[in-house]
Amino acid sequence: MLHIKIMSPSTTTPALAFRPLYKQVVGLITRSLEIGEWKPGVALPSEAELAVRYGVSQGTVRKAIDELVSANLLIRRQGKGTFVATHSDPDSFARFLCLAPNDGEPRPVSNVPLACWRAKAGADVARHLGLEPGALVIIVRRLLRIGEDPAAFDEIYLPGGLFSELTMDVLNSAESSLYSLFESRFGVRAIRANERLRAVSADKVSAEALQVAEGAPLLLAERVTFTYGDKPVEWRRGFYSTRNCHYHNELG
Amino acid sequence: MLHIKIMSPSTTTPALAFRPLYKQVVGLITRSLEIGEWKPGVALPSEAELAVRYGVSQGTVRKAIDELVSANLLIRRQGKGTFVATHSDPDSFARFLCLAPNDGEPRPVSNVPLACWRAKAGADVARHLGLEPGALVIIVRRLLRIGEDPAAFDEIYLPGGLFSELTMDVLNSAESSLYSLFESRFGVRAIRANERLRAVSADKVSAEALQVAEGAPLLLAERVTFTYGDKPVEWRRGFYSTRNCHYHNELG
DNA sequence: CAGTGGTCTAGACCACCTC
DNA sequence: AGGTGGTCTAGACCACTGA
């Protein structure tokens, strides 16, 4: 495959049109990931092969891969190869769950689907998901247990177009995380998310689900999840009971 | 300055003793930052000079600096140089404040010191700060306003040894953030922090400070802040009122 | 052993900033 | 014009993995 070293200096933005070669390679690799040329979990061609394919040096390919690794899209394993990141690999993709037990003891996390239905998107859900108001959305309620304790009660809004075959049966058949299910069953890969946290009082429904008193303080996490190209694919409101757990965050 | 390319293969861990050259350069630069050879805000010697100084190629120095840049210890500015990161630069170091107004309108953040006193460290504070129980700690209470709204009420515990001259007068003289004050006045540079969030009910003191009803839900953020060498330098409990603000976090 | 990623080098050239 | 960081190359060698 050929590449274009000289950027056409767009007349509107004369000097800003410069785009380094390795950035172009980033774009090409990302595109291949997006269209599924390399599936989650499998190895990419070696750096040397990619260098030939894109007509650049190995160093340039390396720099491109560096960027995709730090964006968590790829994983390097020395001596083995470079792999497409996947939510099925617990090591690499438990990073969207920020809840941890207070005492530090690791506990099994279990996923309890409660309900799944269709509805028309309201104004705010449509806005977050980039849909027309009234578009079809799928709503999932689920409980997350950490050890024995109910820790999170989530209401999850998904674009109907991407998840049309999602049902309670599908949810119940999922052995691991939801994102892993989205990836393997619907080809939707969650890349990054923006989360907003607030403290609220438990309403009746969430109090019951989390087995706390109505009015008890809960952590409300509202999350928009994105896939390639910053396309939103999930809007989620999660109520977290922080009696035995906390939300952890690293600043730096 | 000379460098050692061949690692003495420690007899206890034969094969694990390999340490790449650029990692050693990272260590040397970090050490210079730590002992204050280059102060916050000033430029480092050029990459070429550092290459000569450490007896390595410029590429190796670059790779070392890459790592320190992504750890937020250094900042590159093309055409100008590489600079020591500083909390005084609002661009680079507002990153410890995760609170933002709900409507997205940027508002001025103001810092209102309320109290400052000495005490002996209790068991948990001592543990978080790595001190002996009973060691001298300085406790600061302050209010953070975002626009006109009281947004955060913080109780901050500092090791007495590092901040011995901290008083209300010093706090009142600070024009910008606390971490900026720590850096310029006490030579203590906050590098990273671990934060744990919970939802709690407002007690009388924090309710009054934040002008919310007693029992209202608040976001409690407990933070340990570290400097070079993962040494803890601050333990903080902050109560956030999330009526007009939220805590934002990027996952991915 | 061969294949992979990881390190290191030396040198050329480019983009950006300042004087 | 002269300095800085930023890109790109080609090649050598090292560390890790697995057959």
Give residue A176's pLDDT. 81
Nearest chain B alpha carbon to A192: B252
Which residues of chain A have a CB within 8 Å of the CB of B250?
192-195
Residue A39 placed within a domain: yes
DSSP per-residue codes, A101-166: ETT-----EEEEEEEEEEEE--HHHHHHHT--TT-EEEEEEEEEEETTEEEEEEEEEEETTT-TT-
Which of these, A69, A71, A72, A61, lies nearest to A28 by C-alpha position? Answer: A61
Q: How many angstroms away from the CA of B235 is the closest CA of chain A?
A: 14
Residue-range definition of the domain harbouring residue B75: 14-84
Q: On chain C, which bases lie within 7 A of the protein's CB atoms? A: 3-11, 14-18
User: Looking at the 3D structure of chain B, how many domains does it have?
Assistant: 2
Residue B14 has pLDDT above 50, yes or no: no
Cα–Cα distance for residue pair A195/A221, rounded to 1 Å: 6
Residue A6 has pLDDT above 50, yes or no: no
Are B110 and B229 within one domain?
yes
Q: How many angstroms away from the CA of B23 is the closest CA of chain A?
A: 17
For A191, half-sphere exposure in the C-beta direction (CA atoms, 13 angstrom radius) is 18
Model pLDDT for residues A78-134, shown as the tens digit of each residue = 999 999 999 998 777 788 999 999 998 989 999 999 999 999 999 999 999 999 999
Residue A8 placed within a domain: no
- Asked if B218's CB is within 8 angstroms of A218's CB, the reply is no
Give φ, ψ of A191 to 5 degrees. Answer: -105, -50
Give residue B244's pLDDT. 95
Q: Work out if B78's Cβ lies within 7 angstroms of strand D.
A: yes
- Residues paired with residue B154 on neighbouring β-strands, in sequence order: B142, B238
Residue A59 placed within a domain: yes
- Asked if A200's CB is within 8 angstroms of B219's CB, the reply is no
Residue A149 placed within a domain: yes
Model pLDDT for residues A12-70, shown as the tens digit of each residue = 444 467 999 999 999 999 999 999 999 999 999 999 999 999 999 999 999 999 999 99
Nearest chain A alpha carbon to B69: A252
Give the CATH number for residue B102.
3.40.1410.10
Domain boundary among B84, B103, B129: B84
Give residue A119's pLDDT. 97
Residue B152 placed within a domain: yes
Query: What mean pLDDT do residues A143-170 have?
Result: 96
In the numeric block, which tokens belong to residue B11? 């007899």
Amino acid at the residue B245: C
Give residue B95's pLDDT. 86
- Point out the residue among B192, B246, B251 whose CB comes nearest to the CB of A251: B192
Are A173 and A65 within one domain?
no
Are B120 and B51 within one domain?
no
Q: What are B's interface residues with A at a Cβ cutoff of 8 A?
A: 70-72, 95-96, 98, 191-201, 217-220, 223, 240, 242, 246-252
Model pLDDT for residues B151-198, shown as the tens digit of each residue = 999 999 999 999 999 999 999 998 789 999 999 999 999 999 999 999
A50-69 residues near strand C (Cβ < 7 Å): 59, 62
Mean pLDDT, chain B, rounded, equals 92
- Point out the residue among B192, B217, B250 whose CB comes nearest to the CB of A199: B217
Residue A8 has pLDDT above 60, yes or no: no
Q: How far is CA B212 from CA A111, A250, B42, B237, B241, in A?
A: 36, 28, 44, 18, 8
Model pLDDT for residues A220-248, shown as the tens digit of each residue = 999 999 999 999 999 999 999 999 999 99
Whole-model pTM: value is 0.91
Residue B205 placed within a domain: yes
Are B146 and B31 within one domain?
no
Residue A220 placed within a domain: yes
- Asked if A196's CB is within 8 angstroms of B247's CB, the reply is yes
Q: Work out if B50's Cβ lies within 7 angstroms of strand C.
A: no
Residue B7 has pLDDT above 70, yes or no: no
Nearest chain B alpha carbon to A68: B252
Which residues of chain A have a CB within 8 Å of the CB of B247?
196-198
What percent of chain B shows pLDDT beyond 90? 87
Mean pLDDT, chain A, rounded, equals 92
Model pLDDT for residues B65-82, shown as the tens digit of each residue = 999 999 999 999 999 999
